[in-house]
Structure 1
Amino acid sequence: MNDNLSSSVNSQILTILIVISSILLFSVSPTASADGSLTSCDNISVSVKIKTWVDGIEGETLEGLSATFSAKISQTANDLVKQSVVVPKPSNCCSNVSSQVSGFTALAVRGDCDYLIKAKVAQAAGATGLVVINDSEDIVEMSCSEKTALDISIPVVMISKLAGEVLNKSLSGGSKVELVVYAPESPLIDPGAAFLWLMAVATVTCASRWSEITKSEDNSRRYDELSPKPDEEENEIVEMNTTSAVVFVITASTFLVLLYFFMSSWFIWVLIVFFCIGAVEGMHSCLVALVKSKCRSCGQKQVNVPLFGTTTVISLLVFLFCATFAIFWVWTRKESYSWVGQDTLGIFLIIAVLQLAQLPNIKVATVLLCCAFMYDIFWVFISPLFFHDSVMISVAQGDSSSGETIPMVLRFPRLFDPWGGYSVLGFGDILFPGLLLSFTVRYDKAKKRTWKEGYFVWLAIGYACGLLLTYLALYLMNGHGQPALLYLVPCTLGTCIVLGFVRGDLTELWNYNANESKQTLIGEEAA
């Protein structure tokens, strides 16, 4: 809570934060379109919504997944006729069922025979549709292996065990249950993605220039006893090298695999605790620096706090505010508005990390970003060859049984998507390019470059373009999760290298040493 943290404590906090934030999450849940008109085993399985009515009163809207052999499902529910629901006998719908299902939608349980057999039995009995209840909370794709065209003319969908219990409870009570099955499509472009893009670009730009934003007017001319000396500020900086860059990516991969295999609510709770600790520390340091930059006298009055020692009043008040903010977010993290608190905490955490960690030159930046580039591609696109599915996307989706998700992402709600959900961007997709942009800010300042002659503005534009390319690829690949660094690294690091080569600065950028540059500048001023 003290304003001047020791370098060892900062190093430990930074190590924890970077390892956690190394989970480069950029995945948007795919939604396929219900445009298949032929009934075969090769039809596209689509997500469906199921509107329900109990005794004529509209009830819950359930979600499910159509079978690959299902008849085409309408995209809207406006023109559809309500279908009454019955439980067939036998309930597994594996053999001839009673004629009571004729003109009704059959509600069958999973198991005892193939999905296709259930559909054929229900259709032969005159059912207008088939809803299969899974034996778990997951919803799996119902597929078949026949290569010839099928004669299934009814919609066939699967719902979760919990959704099935909702329908069965109403039916067992003697109520009349009706439903309508439809498959709404997500819009091609949702404004939420644009807001997330703007948030990410603003965050990386602000974080890279934070030291200038919080610099007081007289900071460069004098220091009083309560002001941090230049040496103290430098002691709190963790400068990365090529070895630590490689070790970091290896550590991140190990951590990601652990999350994949041991994903559970308690594991995510551990991450939530670490996230809150880091976010409170980051939010506290950023707000205190911002207040002191505008009101230098605000940081002079001190108070003695038991167990924590002496600190300033403003530091104590800001800490209490930050801790309360984080606790409130944890308490309401599953509410529809919780993304605001998560993004606020995340942005302050990113700003704080970029103030503590620095890249000394382009050589280290190249090693770090190239390793992160390969890391992102492997765990999104190549990992399915070695695991059951994409490790990165699986971790991004969190623990399905508890509904808990990884908090180390910025997210923004999909405003006009009938399926709801969020567009998300992992912290790593801001931190890694942000380290490079922060370096260019220091380099431009040391070399007294204007914005045209410098590198920061052009790399910021490159970052914005790279993120746009990520969204473009996301839409072209039907919503399949994209490794954002696949596009961000070439657009930032590539821009820096090309500009450096054209301007003749590449060798200097590659071997740049800030300390030597400062000594040279001091010598020139003395002469």
Structure 2
Amino acid sequence: MRMKKRAVWGVILWLVISLTPALCGDIVHDDDDAPKKPGCDNKFVLVKIQTWVDDENENEFVGVGARFGVTLEAKEKHANRTHLSLLDPSDGCAPPTNKVTGDVVLVDRGNCTFTAKANIAEDAGAMALLVTNNREELFKMVCERNETNLDIKIPAVMLPKSAGKSLEQSIRSGKTVTVQLYSPQRPIVDVAEVFLWLMAVGTILCASYWSAWSAREAAMEHDKLLKDSPDSLLDMEGTGSSGVVDINTTSAILFVVIASGFLFLLYKFMSFWFVELLVVLFCIGGVEGLQTCLVALLARWFKRAGESYIKVPFFGAVSYLTLAISPFCIAFAVVWAVYRRISFAWIGQDILGIALIITVLQIVRLPNVKVATVLLGCAFLYDIFWVYLSPRWFNDSVMIVVARGDKSGEDGVPMLLKIPRIFDPWGGYSIIGFGDILLPGLLIGFSLRYDWASKKRLLSGYFLWSLIAYGFGLFSTYVALYFMDGAGQPALLFIVPFTLGIVLTLGWKRGELRNLWTKGEPERICPHIQQLNQ
């Protein structure tokens, strides 16, 4: 189909763009490397700060509890509602000149240690300490290495800059502000993670079978033409497979290099209008993906409409079935874009995203394990650098900042699948970036095509084991999210060793690694040659 050929490079562009976000949780950053010690060994927990201004219910803010001090109540009904005061001096580094006995006090970060602020507030009779950060991120409050006076009997919580300044402004305007602090416990596993895992694995499963089925049909057609007319071999080699692009080692490296540049641009120029541009690009890709998937499904029932074409300016020959489906796909994407901030808009985003991923995995293919190793190896290093190492040069984890959509006023960029946390008292979404599905999916799709071409059974092939390995890798990412206090994790750090490792290991044990590495397909005798030999 000409329409499909025209879409190939647009889809490849989306493969590059989709490398942007990692799998993330709630983000809190380490402020120091100080070790745990007696009196400073609390777990870092998120804290809800419910506020009232002149007895009217106001905003609810989220902070992070300190390593030191007493722990907060887990249930809202057990938490006390307490008056909020400002300390004078505002940094809380000297005994206050104002009376704060029985109050929760609010201070600014800086000029002395966190524990010094907590000790001064406790000595003044405060019930709790709130520290306004000098940035919007939540930093973990820890103790200095040489501190010994750590018997702090009040809780300490850090607030984002905007939350602290909002409370300070209300107090300075003469209003009475009261707060309620509590820290509800998060479930170890939320059903959202389970569904997201099933969604990612299921997407790769569907895309792999579609890719393998298309490859089988193309091979059968190829063999039939060669059998009927062996002289057509040269012509077919010149044209190649319609609408399918094989990645080579150079393009595999370029994917990651270009993705790094695009990620850096997103980080530097992230804004409301930049995210709006990404939404438009996502809608274009989503329309193409949804249209391709629906045409492939409906063509079985409406074969005549799928095989009848009409010339359309700019797009070339387009089937009547595509023309009939396109308005629905466009309307679906537009409605999602307009209403994407409502609570259930994630459903539309996931539908468009899954359709786009399946389309990419059906069009873009790996020719062999050598290219897969280069692509996944580069992506593995890419994820580690932009999540873990980028703070050394940019003072932020670039990938996490982009995934959250900081400075954009949006709830993250659209190039990800997400599901709301149903049983989590903190709410929010479990998310996974397109790249964490697409890149391993290319290898898994290659494995199934190889298995079918080799006529391998399920257990003796590579597809089943690579898909299981992907599931384990993704599960390991969720385990890391839990043990790292919800800090964003590069999913490919876990997924790549599992998926690529199992294919390489099985290939080596079965003596097929050389063929997998270079040719990527089993030895096959052409039908016309086989006929001559008989």
2:154 paired with 1:154: yes
The 1:140–1:371 alpha-carbon spacing in structure 2 relative to 1, beyond 3 Å, is closer
The whole-number CA distance in structure 1 between the counterparts of 2:137 and 2:448 is 48
The whole-number CA distance in structure 1 between the counterparts of 2:202 and 2:523 is 29
The whole-number CA distance in structure 1 between the counterparts of 2:449 and 2:281 is 30
- Aligned letter for 2:24? S
Counterpart of 1:480 in structure 2 is: 487
How many angstroms does 1:292 deviate by? 0.6
* Structure 2 residue matching 1:131: 3-state secondary structure: strand
Question: Retained in 1: the 8 A contact 2:361–2:442?
Answer: yes
User: How many matched pairs?
Assistant: 514
One of 18, 28, 38 as aligned partner of 1:21:
18
Please show how residues 391-402 of structure 1 align to structure 2 within 5 Å.
Answer: 391-400=398-407, 402=409
Question: Retained in 1: the 8 A contact 2:212–2:445?
Answer: no
Please show how residues 181-330 of structure 1 align to structure 2 within 5 Å.
Answer: 181-211=181-211, 234-299=241-306, 311-330=318-337
The whole-number CA distance in structure 1 between the counterparts of 2:423 and 2:196 is 15
Question: Retained in 1: the 8 A contact 2:3–2:317?
Answer: no
How many angstroms does 1:50 deviate by? 1.4
Please show how residues 45-444 of structure 1 align to structure 2 within 5 Å.
Answer: 45-53=44-52, 58-87=57-86, 93=92, 96-97=95-96, 100-108=99-107, 118-134=117-133, 137-142=136-141, 145=144, 147-164=147-164, 167=167, 176-211=176-211, 234-299=241-306, 311-400=318-407, 402-444=409-451
The 1:65–1:288 alpha-carbon spacing in structure 2 relative to 1, beyond 3 Å, is same
- Aligned letter for 1:299? G
CA offsets, 1:22-65, max 9 Å, x none? Answer: 22511222579xxx99645x755532101234565654332223
The 1:456–1:66 alpha-carbon spacing in structure 2 relative to 1, beyond 3 Å, is closer
Question: Retained in 2: the 8 A contact 1:214–1:290?
Answer: no
How many angstroms does 1:20 deviate by? 0.1
CA RMSD for the aligned pairs? Answer: 3.7
CA offsets, 1:141-160, max 9 Å, x none? Answer: 45564612235422233334
The whole-number CA distance in structure 2 between the counterparts of 1:88 and 1:486 is 45
How many angstroms does 1:384 deviate by? 3.8
CA offsets, 1:353-408, max 9 Å, x none? Answer: 11211111222222222222232233333434444243333332221562341211
The whole-number CA distance in structure 2 between the counterparts of 1:121 and 1:258 is 44
- What TM-score do the two structures reach when normalised by structure 2? 0.83
Residue ranges of structure 2 left out of the alignment (5+ in a row): 30-35, 226-235
How many angstroms does 1:191 deviate by? 1.7
The whole-number CA distance in structure 2 between the counterparts of 1:416 and 1:509 is 45
CA offsets, 1:184-210, max 9 Å, x none? Answer: 232222221111111111000101112
The whole-number CA distance in structure 2 between the counterparts of 1:108 and 1:388 is 24
The 1:166–1:99 alpha-carbon spacing in structure 2 relative to 1, beyond 3 Å, is closer
The 1:192–1:404 alpha-carbon spacing in structure 2 relative to 1, beyond 3 Å, is closer
Question: Retained in 2: the 8 A contact 1:31–1:47?
Answer: no
Question: Retained in 1: the 8 A contact 2:66–2:140?
Answer: yes
How many angstroms does 1:334 deviate by? 2.3
- Aligned letter for 1:442? R
- Aligned letter for 1:21? S
Question: Retained in 2: the 8 A contact 1:99–1:125?
Answer: no
Question: Retained in 2: the 8 A contact 1:214–1:289?
Answer: no
The whole-number CA distance in structure 2 between the counterparts of 1:511 and 1:304 is 41
The whole-number CA distance in structure 2 between the counterparts of 1:112 and 1:453 is 65
The 1:419–1:83 alpha-carbon spacing in structure 2 relative to 1, beyond 3 Å, is same
CA offsets, 1:312-337, max 9 Å, x none? Answer: 44322321111121122222222221
One of 462, 477, 489 as aligned partner of 2:469:
462
The whole-number CA distance in structure 2 between the counterparts of 1:211 and 1:274 is 24
The whole-number CA distance in structure 1 between the counterparts of 2:345 and 2:421 is 14
* Structure 2 residue matching 1:106: 3-state secondary structure: strand
The 1:437–1:96 alpha-carbon spacing in structure 2 relative to 1, beyond 3 Å, is closer
* 113-122 or 204-213, larger mean C-alpha shift: 113-122
- Aligned letter for 2:155? P
Counterpart of 1:226 in structure 2 is: none
The 1:521–1:133 alpha-carbon spacing in structure 2 relative to 1, beyond 3 Å, is same
CA offsets, 1:93-118, max 9 Å, x none? Answer: 55554564222223445667765555
The whole-number CA distance in structure 1 between the counterparts of 2:90 and 2:466 is 62
Identity of aligned residues (%): 44
Counterpart of 1:523 in structure 2 is: 529
Question: Retained in 2: the 8 A contact 1:429–1:485?
Answer: yes
- Aligned letter for 1:473? A
Question: Retained in 2: the 8 A contact 1:99–1:126?
Answer: no
* Structure 1 residue matching 2:446: 3-state secondary structure: helix
The 1:163–1:386 alpha-carbon spacing in structure 2 relative to 1, beyond 3 Å, is closer
* 120-129 or 104-113, larger mean C-alpha shift: 104-113
Question: Retained in 1: the 8 A contact 2:369–2:520?
Answer: no
* Structure 1 residue matching 2:337: 3-state secondary structure: helix
Residue ranges of structure 1 left out of the alignment (5+ in a row): 224-229
Question: Retained in 1: the 8 A contact 2:2–2:316?
Answer: no
The whole-number CA distance in structure 2 between the counterparts of 1:5 and 1:310 is 7
